[in-house]
Structure 1
Amino acid sequence: MWWNTRDQGVLLHSSYELNDNLTLFMNAGGGRSIVSRISEQTPKIINDNGDVESAITNYRFNVHRYIFETGVRSYFSTGAIDHQMTLQASYYHDRLAVAGNVGKQKVISNIYSPSEVDVTLPSSPASVPKVSSSQLTSFAVSDTMTILNGSVDIIPGIRLQRVQADNFMANGQRSANYDESAVTPMLGLVYHPLESVSLYANYIEGLSKGDIAPSFAKNASQVMRPYRSRQYEVGVKYDNAGIQSSLAFFQITKPSGAIDSTDNIFNANSEQRNRGVEVNLSAQVLDNLQISGNLSLIDAELIKSPKSDIRGNKPVGVSPLQANVGVEYDLPILHGLSLNSYVNYSAKQYVNQANTQSINPWTTVDMGASYKTRVYGAPTTFRFDVQNLFNHHYWSGVASYTTIAQGAPRTFLASVSVDF
């Protein structure tokens, strides 16, 4: 199999303080990804024994993305209330072009006992037509109001969002169009009983672009209607003496998509509710030794569906337990040199809404090193990381259209970052 990916991107951030109480900011960026590959389609599980079906595809994928964001942040007081008000506008655009020639020979294998099959490779696509484009615009205002000598923060906000999505046929004609707007509120409350402790609660609504139907669906590349989500969260944070920790309880409701086995059409006509708890901890154990950890427990449920037999089931691709533990050690022999290691775990995930198929839990280990120094006076960091150190073979996740993703093999990464 063969794969070639080219990613290019640029990001610009700028801020300017007009005075002590008024700051202008701007972010702009863009990128493109060009993918060419000859590979199996993501395997589709076809029975409870773990048999999978796929086909060899000569595939090309191009996506262009642009984003612009600007705003103003103002600090002022009204009587005994201190304000930090933010006005912000943003624009995002993407364009997706996809083409693929699928081989006629089906490849049958098994996730527990993979087999090799000789096949004839399909030819490369002659063109890569645009299949969808999306535009997301947003105007938001929020105000962090601090009262009672800094012990309480009240954060109201409101956002006007517009999501425009177009689907196109191979001849360039528009096949579907969505243009939806929504006013979504946000409200937060923070209470500081102690300088090192914060209690908080918030409610957020959001509008986002819908999923795209997979290539093997009858309605392949169709963009679903925009998704509206709602999130409630309460928690506590602690930060003192080199220890940062947090405990949060949350509930999120959002649309859920899946392939209908009767007609092979991808629809987002269900709704899922995720209730969970998340714990984070980071501690400076010694001057040169830091440990960190994260634990997430999620009770996910399909609460709405046109099919009564799946209501109450678990949504596709949601792990009920995820955790990671890491350690970072600063070597005393060379100032700026650090070693790190992380262990990552994810519990099983269901492959279908009927909850008859799932992928196994998995654990991976990452290791790396970083070196911080100055190059011509500019702060510079060199990084080298090895992900999946022991080259563990596993299925990393599940998409809503009953396909599974293979975990990345042992991967070596090197990077340099410079602050100007």
Structure 2
Amino acid sequence: VAAVVNVDTKKALDKPVLRYKQVFSGESGLGEYLDIGKRFGKNDEWGVRVNTEILNGNPGHYKASKEGSSIFANIDHQDANSKSNLLVGYQYYEVDDGMRWFGFDANNVKKGLLTHVPSAPNSKNNYSFPGMTKASEGALMVLNHEQVIGHGTKAFFNGGWTRSNLRKNITGQGSRLYILDDAGNYAGKYFTRRTPVHKYYVQTGIENTFKTGEVEHDVVLAVDKSWSKSWTGVVGGYGLTNFKGLGGTLAGGVNPNESVNIPTFSNFHNSTRTFWGVSLLDTMKLGKAQMMLGVHKHESNAVTYPDPTKSGKVASVKSSAVCPAYGFVYQPTDEVSIYASHSEFFDAGSRVSGANAYNADEILDPSKTKMDEIGVKYSNKNFLATLALFKNRESSTLNVYDDKKPDWYWVTNDGENEYKGIELSINGAIADKWNAFGGLMYLDTERVRTNKGTYDGYRVGGIPRFNAVAGLQYKPNNDLSILARAVYVGPTPIFPASNAIEWEVPSYTTFDAGINYKTQINKMPVKLSAMCYNLTGKDYWIAYGSGLHLSSPRTFMLSAQFDL
């Protein structure tokens, strides 16, 4: 059904794997990867797969440096009556400098000092101030087990936990720099905060397969619980804010005399969320048709805690919802599938954040997302094409600004955001030695059912109407392949200061090209690759929400993979 994603972890294969890969990109970016996998035991019941990664250097062509490391191990076991899988892993990434995010000074927009989206500057410019860094780490463990009981019935358990922490986040306040005027001057304030998050999940249930007449049934009954705790930071030992301002111009980059004086900070527990749920699903098969009918009942409790530097109180919201899901597939031939689906998802209600929000730390009302899709798929041995029509609806969260204090606002749920679109995608052989891939999507967005119809008909910020990608791969033989790709993003609306002021971020098209070559060194298989991203060196803005992200310049990548 729509918006349901199945993920299968990287398991050991029947044939042992020992693979080393080295990558060089940008000015000095280096990456090393190791992939080890092997099966063992009676009938190769056990499997172990380990993947590691080490990164360092500048992976682009603007001032930035990245360090990272990760290790993930997957252990699986399978016999006639059970199937188990355990995934554990840890990763750490740190990016120094690399500031690319911009917003708009809402007050200056309303005063007429900033009247449009400025042209994208040189993407090689430096907008990072000394000391800027973002460092995050995370660990996870996931366990899945299925046990055959008999008579077409099996029991299952799924559980896991994740711990993530943005342990260093010295950046511009709001994670962006604010453009002030049409001349391209920008300003901001230094900002630092940690955001640890702990999440836990457990699910257990039974699955039974049986027949009623000619209809095959696969019925699943499951109960689940998930809960999370998050923390955020307060600065200056509870209240001493001595951030310095920072600034520069889009054309020239950061002020070279910029200096940093980052205060100390502490963490406080800011929110807890708990979900309980029960699900019942029946997948039915009859001849060339399949149907899935399901329902999910969910209850939640969201709690927020006040910043200890401010006056406030604990806020909580309890809520529940029943979410149906159903899908239908019909295959008139082996190559053609016609499908339709509907699904709904429940949210516990989001916490309001922002130093200038009147209702900061309060919890907005829970919302539900509804997704509908119909389509047709064509596939044969070497080609897949999909045409889909879809309509999605989600609660609309708006910032309502105070005319007397232009930087202050209320955050509120107001109506729905509606997304209606059509998408065509293809992938596979179109002629001897030629493969094609690509897609085209038209997406119309609209705000509907807003309070008193105030914002009905407005578009949703940060989403273009058109997206497209097209690529060709030429394989003159089994060892050599040449790739070319084009990506198009259409004009994108943004709302820089209020819901009544709409600007447009210009469209852009980028081109990538690359080559892969397979060879052997002393009978060891080797794969060599070269890629150029943003081949023409285009400078452009990428819209996100009400802000902008500056593009990356032309970047080259080289890699070598060795099967040891």
TM band (smaller chain): 0.7 to 0.9
Return the match for 1:171 from 308, 322, 333. 308
The change in CA–CA distance for 1:110 and 1:4 in structure 2 (over 3 A counts) is: closer
The change in CA–CA distance for 1:196 and 1:32 in structure 2 (over 3 A counts) is: same
Return the match for 1:207 from 346, 352, 367. 346
The amino acid of 2:152's aligned partner reads N
Matches within 5 A, 1:6-405: 6-18=136-148, 21-29=152-160, 30-41=162-173, 42-44=176-178, 54-99=188-233, 101=235, 105-107=244-246, 113=251, 115-117=253-255, 118-147=257-286, 150-171=287-308, 175-218=314-357, 219-220=359-360, 222-262=362-402, 263-285=408-430, 290-306=435-451, 308-326=453-471, 342-352=485-495, 353-364=499-510, 393-399=539-545, 402-405=546-549
Distance (Å, rounded) in 1 between the aligned partners of 2:415 and 2:533: 35
Distance (Å, rounded) in 2 between the aligned partners of 1:63 and 1:169: 17
Distance (Å, rounded) in 1 between the aligned partners of 2:258 and 2:276: 46
Q: List per-residue Cα deviations over 1:301-331 (Å, max 9, x = no partner).
A: 1112236453211012222122223456779
Contact between 1:349 and 1:398, CA under 8 Å: does it hold in 2?
no
Distance (Å, rounded) in 1 between the aligned partners of 2:316 and 2:189: 31
Q: TM-score, normalised by structure 2?
A: 0.61
Q: List per-residue Cα deviations over 1:334-374 (Å, max 9, x = no partner).
A: 6xx987665433223322233522333344556789999xx
In the alignment of these two chains, the number of paired residues is 403
Q: Which moved more, 1:202-211 or 1:212-221?
A: 212-221
The change in CA–CA distance for 1:203 and 1:45 in structure 2 (over 3 A counts) is: farther
Q: If each structure's strand is expressed as a fraction of its own residues, which one has the higher value?
A: 1
Contact between 2:193 and 2:265, CA under 8 Å: does it hold in 1?
no
Contact between 1:351 and 1:404, CA under 8 Å: does it hold in 2?
no
Distance (Å, rounded) in 2 between the aligned partners of 1:356 and 1:21: 58
Distance (Å, rounded) in 1 between the aligned partners of 2:534 and 2:435: 21
Distance (Å, rounded) in 2 between the aligned partners of 1:14 and 1:371: 38
Q: Which has the higher contact order (CA 8 A, sep 6+)?
A: 2
The amino acid of 1:225's aligned partner reads D
Deviation at 1:77, TM superposition (A): 0.7
**Identical counterparts, % of pairs:** 21
Return the match for 1:4 from 114, 134, 153. 134
Deviation at 1:85, TM superposition (A): 1.6
* Unpaired segments ≥5 residues, structure 2: 1-128, 236-240, 403-407, 519-526
Contact between 2:234 and 2:307, CA under 8 Å: does it hold in 1?
no
The change in CA–CA distance for 1:168 and 1:203 in structure 2 (over 3 A counts) is: same
Contact between 2:191 and 2:243, CA under 8 Å: does it hold in 1?
no
The change in CA–CA distance for 1:225 and 1:406 in structure 2 (over 3 A counts) is: farther
Secondary structure at 2:266 match in 1: coil
Distance (Å, rounded) in 2 between the aligned partners of 1:128 and 1:137: 28
Secondary structure at 1:140 match in 2: strand
* Unpaired segments ≥5 residues, structure 1: 373-380
Secondary structure at 2:426 match in 1: strand
- Greater Rg, structure 1 or structure 2? 2
Q: TM-score, normalised by structure 1?
A: 0.80
Distance (Å, rounded) in 1 between the aligned partners of 2:203 and 2:529: 30
